[in-house]
Structure 1
Amino acid sequence: MTRPPTTAADEAATRRRRPWTGLTLLGVPLIMALLGPLAAGDDFPLPDVVPSQPPGSGHPLGTDVLGRDALTLVLEGGASVVGSALAALTVGTLLGIPLGLLAAGPRRGLDEAVMRTMDLVLAFPGLLVLMTLAATGRRDWLWLVTVAGVLQVPAVARLVRGAVLAPGTQTVVEALRMQGRGWAYIHLRHLAREVAAPLATDAGGRFSTVLYLLASANFLGLGLPSSSPDWAVLIERNSDALFTQPAAVLVPAGLLTSLCVGGNLLVDHVIARERNRR
């Protein structure tokens, strides 16, 4: 049986439905990250609680390998995941934008120096850098977020440089210079508007990249301590009890997956809408 051809109305309906899927997948872990710590109780192990206990009375998701309530840990762990990813994304953006603007300036030598430095940073694997820091004892939250943010700088700088060096943008910049406009007016008023849309779109997809890097580091024990309720840490700590207490692993894993997939769906929808508008 052959499928009927897709009409324009069907495609429009599909585009209208798509954001709700992304919003739902992204909204559930975000709401849990924001409101979860307020609803969570005490996460310390109780003396009469059995470690890796399956879901039951008093423990809807069971307990973890330390005898702590798994639901309480899941409610508390989202704030660490989302906060770390947003902080690293902010670091990469704040450092990448001025470097991209410098590279797009009129000085060719400065462009080469900035871009070759970005190529050098880009050559270092993220997990290898975090492993080196962990080996030297630098494995707290601040180091984790800072390194993850710095590793995003080359991509952000290249994006800003490419947007500023676009032919249409350069034509307007030359016109503004002929009118006597200064550097601050050109870069902070005109060019800022030109790079805002690409940066906003890139930030949605880059959030998943940063989240993947941070979750991988925490899962491998390179980041937060093993007692942290971070979702990636919970997956690593309870992985040995996957078959006896799967909820302690599958629930945080599902929330991490939902966070990444929901963000990617929303970015795809924004790009599709922009393409259709043009």
Structure 2
Amino acid sequence: MNSKIIPMQNNLVLIYLFLIGLTFGSFFNVVGLRVPLKKSIVAPGSACPTCGHQLRAYELIPVLSYMIQKGKCRGCQSRISPIYPTMELITGILFATAPLVVGWSSELVLALTLISMFIIIIVSDIHYMIIPDKILIWFAGIFLLERIIWPLNPWWDNLIGACAGFTLLLIIALVSKGGMGFGDVKLYALLGFVLGFKLVLISFFLSTLYGAVLGGLAMLLRIVKRRQPIPFGPFIAAGTLSAYYWGSEMIELYIRFLNQGF
């Protein structure tokens, strides 16, 4: 009997996390759009950027309002960017699936914090090609507290990871002469502190791989033009979450492959 009750309780929690993720995703949209412009994230309320129509409560229901209004403003019927509901839905999915990967442990808190930071960064990077320092500073404080409570083993792996992430991206930023932004450098210093030395290297490898493959496909399909700047934030998010979730398994597989090869 208990074996049937526990999975049902877990499913209810996952549904709850999904709904919480949708709600937070809506808020993260606001933060990602306003912070780079140095605007308040509290006031004024959300409004249509075209006609200034103040959105009411029933127009702010994540994803659902967009679908009911068919992606248009109720005031002027102008098109609403699909990025907003997309980021809300992605946040909900990532919140709900995080415990399925990291389990119901303290690492779930860090996973949700990483997801939250990345959603804000993606929104900001897509719209402005900027990773705001203010966002990194806020999350640096949160991650510092979390890693004090739940440190890596050994604890100094945080410091080595931060140095490795910062140094690696700084070299690339200097060599590329603008190809890599300094926002990415500071972000990887923070990610190195959270992930540690090994996982931050895997994060960078996967982020670069995702960026090269998807960027190449985008050029082949003529979605973007050659030499057109592409926001790297989404690829960093995908690569880092992949490394955080499955990096240890990747390392074990690689070591096993080397041992079999020799």
Q: TM-score, normalization: structure 1?
A: 0.22
| Larger relative contact order (CA 8 Å, sep ≥ 6) | 1
Q: TM-score, normalization: structure 2?
A: 0.23
